[in-house]
């Protein structure tokens, strides 16, 4: 497992360096600097505030899913656990690092029955991710319908591919979950808990409603920076492009989506009068806004009770973290946390 982790880590680091180097060699740095310096400070800090509010809503969504899994804690404790996960998503090379951290905190520090705690904690994180992902994709589709201008071929075909893959994935998941559970017994409890969630229309509706708020906020966050840069791009275009770029950054090719995010905005916004330096500025400033909020999780990691190597509790917690990672790797649902 360690060799596999190292290989994937180095692959991401190499991909990041290659993507960033490719963009850097072809970018007009003077225009990039001019675009960044023309940003309205009010727009940037407004973007930070919107993202912070989105993470608070995401925390509420995750908490209600965890409560349904009989894992209890106050909203303040969920808030610090979520902040720790955000920070780890920012700095760790693996795409599930923050999810593993959230699962660990929930399994180790929440109140509730001891039986299957790690499994139930992991499933709550997966459902949190999954509802966000579904709404993210739906938002792109709705925005494309409401868009007042014609979408470019790049955006249109990317969106069609995402919708087709989503429909295929849902069809396979809904029709083959029983077969998958029998073939992979470790997944059976996770699948059972997911179906139990689906049978609760009130919980499903609440989770989806909160996800709508989170994903709309993610679009507003980027749109505010775009307006602050003076970009003449309709909001509906952001509603379509931002989800697509978010999905693009989920590809395991770089650390924190670096390079992929900038290339995505440059390619998808080129047909709307946005130059490559402006698109890269939009991406970098958006990432800076999210990073400022994610840094709130650093004190949690330092003083929040993360296991220390060499202690009995640390050994037990490390085993729980490994178990959490296995659950998340076998049934991984990627999305924004938001």
Full pLDDT tens readout for the chain, 338 residues = 455 556 666 666 676 677 677 677 677 778 888 889 889 999 999 999 999 999 999 999 999 999 988 999 999 999 989 998 888 888 776 656 788 889 988 988 888 888 888 888 988 998 898 899 999 999 999 999 999 999 999 999 999 999 999 999 888 877 887 777 777 777 777 777 778 888 888 999 999 999 999 999 999 999 999 999 999 999 999 999 999 999 988 877 776 777 888 989 999 999 998 999 999 999 999 999 999 999 988 887 777 655 433 333 343 444 444 555 455 545 444 443 44
pLDDT of residue 67: 92
Q: In the structure encoding, which two tokens stand for residue 159, read together?
A: 């969106």
Q: What per-residue confidence (pLDDT) applies to 6?
A: 63
State the pLDDT at residue 9: 66
Three-state SS annotation for the chain? CHHHHHHHHHHHHHHHHHHHHHHHHHCCHHHHHHHHHCCCHHHHHHHHHHHHHHHHHHHHHHHHHHHHCCCECCHHHHHHHHHHHHHHHHHCCCCCHHHHHHHHHHHHHCECCCCCHHHHHHHHHHHHHHHHHHHHHHHHHHHHHHCCCCCCHHHHHHHHHHHHHHHHHHHHHHHHHHHHHHHCHHHHHHHHHHHHHHCCHHHHHHHHHHHHHHHHHHHHHHHHHHHHCCCCCCHHHHHHHHHHHHHHCCCCCCHHHCCHHHHHHHHHHHHHCCCHHHHHHHHHHHHHHHHHHHHHHHHHHHHCCCCCCCCHHHHHHHHHHHHHHHHHHHCCCCCCCC
| pLDDT score, position 307 | 43
Return the axis-axis angle of helices 2-26 and 260-269, rounded to nearest 10°. Answer: 40
Q: Residue 4's pLDDT is what?
A: 54
Cβ atoms < 10 Å from Cβ of 319 = 12
């Amino acid at each position: 497992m360690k060799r596999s982790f190292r290989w994937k880590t180095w692959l991401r680091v190499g991909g990041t360096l290659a993507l960033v180097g490719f963009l850097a060699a072809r970018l007009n740095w003077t225009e990039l600097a001019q675009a960044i310096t023309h940003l309205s400070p009010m727009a940037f800090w407004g973007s930070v505030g919107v993202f912070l509010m989105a993470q608070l809503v995401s925390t509420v969504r995750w908490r209600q899913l965890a409560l349904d899994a009989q894992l209890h804690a106050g909203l303040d404790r969920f808030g610090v656990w979520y902040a720790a996960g955000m920070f780890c998503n920012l700095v760790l090379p693996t795409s599930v690092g923050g999810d593993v951290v959230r699962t660990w905190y929930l399994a180790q520090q929440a109140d509730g029955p001891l039986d299957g705690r790690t499994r139930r904690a992991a499933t709550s994180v997966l459902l949190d991710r999954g509802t966000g992902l579904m709404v993210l994709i739906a938002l792109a589709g709705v925005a494309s319908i409401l868009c007042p201008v014609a979408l470019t071929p790049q955006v249109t075909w990317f969106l069609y591919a995402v919708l087709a893959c989503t429909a295929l994935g849902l069809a396979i998941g809904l029709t083959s979950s029983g077969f998958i559970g029998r073939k992979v017994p470790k997944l059976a409890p996770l699948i059972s808990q997911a179906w139990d969630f689906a049978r609760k229309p009130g919980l499903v509706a609440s989770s989806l409603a909160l996800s709508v708020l989170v994903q709309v906020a993610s679009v507003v966050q980027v749109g505010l920076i775009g307006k602050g840069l003076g970009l003449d791009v309709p909001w509906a275009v952001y509603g379509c492009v931002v989800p697509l770029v978010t999905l693009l950054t989920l590809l395991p090719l770089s650390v924190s989506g670096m390079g992929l995010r900038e290339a995505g905005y440059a390619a998808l916004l080129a047909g709307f009068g946005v130059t490559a330096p402006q698109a890269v500025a939009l991406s970098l400033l958006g990432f800076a806004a999210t990073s400022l909020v994610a840094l709130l999780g650093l004190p949690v990691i330092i003083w929040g009770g993360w296991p220390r190597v060499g202690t009995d509790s640390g050994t037990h917690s490390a085993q729980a973290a490994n178990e959490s990672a296995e659950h998340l790797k076998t049934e991984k649902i990627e999305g924004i946390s938001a």
